[in-house]
């Protein structure tokens, strides 16, 4: 991965982009690309790049141009099928100067235009500047693994991997929260692109290309998921047996894992959580990693969250060189402000903080690239949310049935407030609006209701803004036309991918924590061909009655220790509000939650936050905090820190940057004149 940034005048009348502004932008992204930095500038456009060298170490410097020096590119990510595309382009007469995937993108764009992105299997954020046509092309991968933000201000478009680089470019760009982004976050757990957290700054929608011509702006999807339709499932559905599906998935996963190791000129490590997904990736990754294969795991001082036994079991079985970091509540509290600086958005869980510490451990051991199991739960129906949706729909068809409602007891066994222990409460909570079991978003409405309860803490102004809009109906209204023709599991998977996976798991918990320490994450389960296969499988192959990821467990049986395959689903969790209410909590907590700071941000009501804080402190001794209170305190604190760091403090980028690539056409023209 790398960091990209740029400024393009929306008309020819504006002055050339400031070289100093571009230097500040790339300086703000130095953590994403510590190895090399480059800059291109002409009368209308400026491109800046911070490189993390992973492929073609000696010839991958950016910005990079085509052979005519007219089309320039900056690129963050990896194209895993670039060798295949390169051969096709050579057959069409294209000639290459490097062995990098970056140059392949340039030639692919020249050959196929916007359609080139649909041919790519990878993870990317790309900016292409056609200096002759005066055209800027922005593109982002199918699932939003690589971030890309943009802002249209003062006759220019600013774009960058991270918001902080846009803010660094121009002090006149407004810095304020967007109420719509805050409302989405405290409902859906995240913003859904193009919506952003800050006013005027949007996020490019995954799977889209956005094009700025001299007088027009247009955006379109180059990819969208495809699931079998209820009326004619055979058209798109996998037609083989379950055993056939196991063989196909195993082959696709092996190929995806191999690609992500082979397409790197540096050693590749692996995250190991002790669950099925990362264990599968580690076992397969070991085959292609050469003699030395390093795995990395989180341990927790709190036994409730610790999975050390299973992690070490898999590490021993794969023969990896295993590394661990032990994380305590105080560790989470200590790094939390830095975590928020990198997430650039409020979060409702502290779970990114331990991963921030894990990526630091990876970098300390000289690893730049790690494989992870992210995406398996979304593609193969691994979450309890999918099981919950199935149970509630089954119950909703006979809402008076006590027998059907008892199936709730099979959900969330790892939670202290599980339905197993709270049957009456479970019936009341999960039974709300049960008659609406066939409506879009039904499986997610319990999560959205729980999260929305935090809005009781909103200030009067923010509450008025929240009541003026309703982000759930807006989300439902944007669902694709074919959504209603998919089965219920496919519908649940689609919404989960568009919201939690893309905006939180791959961003706040993924790319941002990895790149904070210059580590690139790679995700075999999000390989284009594997995703297409997973989406085509019958629902019963993925969620067999209530057995989640059934086909994936069958894939794992000959590869992964049986104790891992037989484990009940244990989602990754970390201590939350209790990290911030101990007597020795860091001073920033008190400062961020002070009445003065709360009134200045004007997102939350100070009295309501004080009551919440007192409640959490009172219950800290026995640790009996509700899910809602845990999310509320983390959400409030992260929002307040974000306000301090990006609105009040107004961070900028480094002014002095050593450049590996320095193409300044505007400067040369001034000298010649």
Q: What is the pLDDT of residues 284-311, one digit of tens each?
A: 999 988 778 999 999 999 998 999 999 9
| Total-model pTM | 0.94
pLDDT band at 344 (very low <50, low <70, confident <90, very high): very high
167-181, 305-319, 372-386, 614-628: least confidently modelled range = 614-628
Nearest-angstrom CA–CA distance, 37 and 17: 18
Average pLDDT over residues 37-66: 87
pLDDT at 56 over 80: no
Decide which of 3.80.30.20, 1.10.340.30, 3.40.640.10, 3.60.20.10 is the CATH code for 3-182+200-223. 3.60.20.10
Q: Are 368 and 266 in contact (CB under 8 A)?
A: yes
Instruction: Categorize the per-residue pLDDT at 407 as very low, low, confident or very high, splitting at 50, 70 and 90.
Output: confident
- pLDDT band for position 326 (cuts 50, 70, 90): very high
pLDDT at residue 551 in the model: 97
Mean pLDDT of the chain: 92
Q: What is the pLDDT of residue 668?
A: 54
- Comparing 426 with 552, the larger pLDDT belongs to 552
Q: Can you tell me the distance from the alpha carbon of 284 to that of 268, in angstroms, rounded to the nearest whole number?
A: 13
Q: Are domains 3-182+200-223 and 233-379+497-566 of this chain identical in fold?
A: no
Pairing mode, if any, of strands 36-41 and 45-51? antiparallel
Given a cut of 60, whether residue 67 has pLDDT beyond it is yes
* Cross-strand partners of 220: 209
Whether residue 232 is predicted with pLDDT greater than 80 in this model: the reply is: no
- Least reliable range by pLDDT among 138-147, 456-465, 555-564, 664-673: 664-673
The residue that leads in pLDDT, 457 or 425, is: 457
Output the pLDDT for position 670: 35
Phi first, then psi: give them for residue 83, nearest 5 degrees.
-65, -40
The CATH superfamily assigned to 233-379+497-566 is HUPs (3.40.50.620)
Q: What is the pLDDT of residue 235?
A: 74
Residue 669 has pLDDT above 80, yes or no: no
- Which stretch of 8-12, 464-468, 607-611, 669-673 has the lowest confidence by average pLDDT? 669-673
| Per-residue model confidence (pLDDT) at position 360 | 98
Which band of pLDDT confidence, cut at 50, 70 and 90, is reported for residue 659? confident
Q: How confident is the model at residue 673 (pLDDT cuts 50, 70, 90)?
A: very low
Delimit the domains of the chain by residue range: 3-182+200-223, 233-379+497-566, 577-648
Q: How confident is the model at residue 667 (pLDDT cuts 50, 70, 90)?
A: low
Q: How far is the C-alpha of 146 from the C-alpha of 127, rounded, in Å?
A: 12
- As beta bridge partners, residue 64 has 73
Residue 487: its pLDDT value, please?
Answer: 95
Q: What is the pLDDT of residues 354-401, one digit of tens each?
A: 999 999 999 999 999 999 999 999 999 999 999 999 999 999 999 888
Specify the pLDDT at position 410: 80
* 142 three-state secondary structure: coil
| 587-610: pLDDT as tens digits | 999 999 999 999 999 999 999 999
What confidence tier does 13 reach under pLDDT thresholds 50, 70, 90? low
Burial of 409 (0-12, 13-18, 19+ CB in 10 A): middle
Res 283: pLDDT: 95
* Residue spans of alpha helices (H) in 36-150: 82-91, 101-112
User: Residue 184: which pLDDT band, with cuts at 50, 70 and 90?
Assistant: very high
Alpha-helix runs per DSSP H in 567-664: 587-592, 595-601, 606-618, 627-642
Structure tokens at 428: 């009341």
Nearest Cα to 426, choosing from 439, 413, 437?
A: 413
State the alpha helices, DSSP H only, in 365-487: 376-379, 384-396, 402-405, 423-430, 445-452, 460-468, 471-477
Using CA atoms of 313, 318, 320, 324 in order, give the dihedral in degrees to the nearest 10. Answer: -30
Q: Which of 209-223, 247-261, 639-653 has the lowest mean pLDDT?
A: 639-653
Q: How far is 53 from 36, CA to CA, in rounded Å?
A: 8
Q: Confirm whether residue 101 is marked as ligand binding.
A: yes
Percent of the chain with pLDDT over 90: 78
Q: Is 2 a catalytic residue?
A: yes
Q: How far is Cα 333 from Cα 354, in angstroms, rounded to an integer?
A: 10
User: How many CA atoms lie within 13 Å of 328's alpha carbon, on the beta-carbon side?
Assistant: 5
pLDDT at 671: 31
């Amino acid at each position: 991965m790398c960091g990209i940034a740029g400024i393009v005048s929306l008309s020819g009348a504006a002055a050339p982009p400031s070289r100093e502004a571009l230097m500040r932008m790339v300086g703000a992204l130095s953590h994403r690309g510590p190895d090399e930095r480059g800059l291109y500038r002409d009368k209308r456009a400026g491109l800046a790049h911070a490189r993390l060298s992973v492929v073609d170490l000696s010839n991958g410097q950016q910005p990079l141009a085509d052979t005519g020096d007219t089309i320039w590119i900056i690129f963050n990510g990896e194209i895993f099928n670039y060798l295949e595309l390169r051969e096709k382009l050579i057959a069409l007469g294209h000639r290459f100067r490097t062995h990098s995937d970056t140059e392949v993108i340039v030639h692919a764009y020249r050959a196929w235009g916007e359609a080139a992105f649909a041919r790519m299997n990878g993870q990317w954020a790309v900016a292409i500047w056609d200096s002759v046509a005066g055209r800027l092309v922005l593109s982002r991968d199918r699932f939003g693994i690589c971030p890309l933000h943009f802002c249209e201000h003062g006759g220019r478009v600013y774009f960058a991997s991270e918001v902080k680089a846009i803010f660094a470019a121009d002090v006149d760009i407004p810095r304020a929260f967007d109420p719509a982004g805050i409302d989405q976050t405290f409902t859906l757990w995240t913003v859904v692109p193009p919506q952003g957290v800050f006013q005027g700054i949007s996020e490019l929608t995954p799977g889209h290309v956005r094009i700025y011509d001299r007088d027009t702006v247009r955006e379109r999807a180059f990819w969208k998921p495809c699931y079998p339709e209820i009326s004619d499932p055979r058209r798109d559905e996998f037609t083989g047996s379950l055993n056939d599906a196991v063989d196909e998935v195993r082959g696709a996963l092996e190929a995806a894992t191999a690609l992500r190791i082979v397409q790197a000129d540096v050693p590749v490590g692996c995250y190991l959580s002790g669950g099925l997904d990362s264990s599968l990736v580690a076992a397969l990754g070991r085959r292609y990693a050469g003699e030395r294969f390093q795995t990395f795991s989180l341990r927790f001082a709190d036994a409730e969250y610790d999975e050390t036994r299973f992690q070490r079991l898999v590490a021993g079985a794969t023969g990896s060189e295993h590394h661990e970091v032990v994380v305590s509540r105080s560790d989470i509290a200590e790094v939390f402000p830095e975590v928020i600086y990198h997430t650039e958005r409020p979060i409702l869980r502290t779970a990114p903080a331990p991963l921030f510490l894990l990526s630091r451990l990876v970098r300390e051991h000289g690893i730049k690239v790690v494989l992870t199991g992210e995406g398996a739960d979304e593609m193969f129906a691994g979450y309890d949310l999918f099981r919950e949706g199935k149970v509630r729909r089954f119950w909703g068809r006979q809402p008076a049935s006590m027998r059907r409602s008892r199936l709730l007891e099979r959900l969330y066994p790892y939670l202290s407030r599980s339905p197993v222990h709270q049957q009456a409460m479970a019936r009341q909570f999960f039974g709300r609006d049960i008659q609406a079991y066939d409506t879009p978003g039904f499986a997610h409405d319990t999560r959205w209701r729980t999260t929305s309860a935090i809005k009781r803490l909103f200030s009067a102004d923010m509450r008025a803004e929240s009541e003026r809009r309703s982000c759930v109906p807006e989300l439902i209204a944007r669902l694709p036309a074919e959504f209603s023709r998919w089965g219920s599991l496919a519908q649940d998977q689609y919404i989960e991918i568009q919201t939690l996976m893309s905006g939180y798991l791959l961003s706040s918990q993924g790319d941002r924590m990895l790149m904070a320490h210059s580590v690139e994450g790679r995700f075999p389960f999000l390989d284009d061909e594997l995703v297409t296969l997973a989406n085509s499988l019958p629902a019963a192959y993925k969620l067999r009655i209530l057995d989640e990821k059934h086909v994936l467990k069958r894939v794992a049986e000959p590869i992964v220790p049986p104790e891992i395959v037989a484990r009940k689903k244990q989602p990754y969790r970390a201590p939350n509000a209790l990290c911030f209410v101990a007597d020795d909590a860091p001073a920033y907590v008190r400062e961020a939650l002070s009445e003065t700071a709360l009134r200045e941000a004007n997102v939350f009501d100070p009295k309501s936050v004080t009551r919440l804080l007192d409640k959490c402190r009172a219950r800290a001794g026995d640790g009996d905090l509700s899910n809602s209170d845990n999310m509320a305190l983390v959400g409030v604190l992260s929002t307040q820190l974000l306000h301090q760091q990006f609105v009040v403090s107004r961070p900028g980028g480094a002014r002095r940057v050593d450049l590996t690539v320095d193409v300044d056409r505007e400067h040369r023209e001034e000298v010649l004149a």
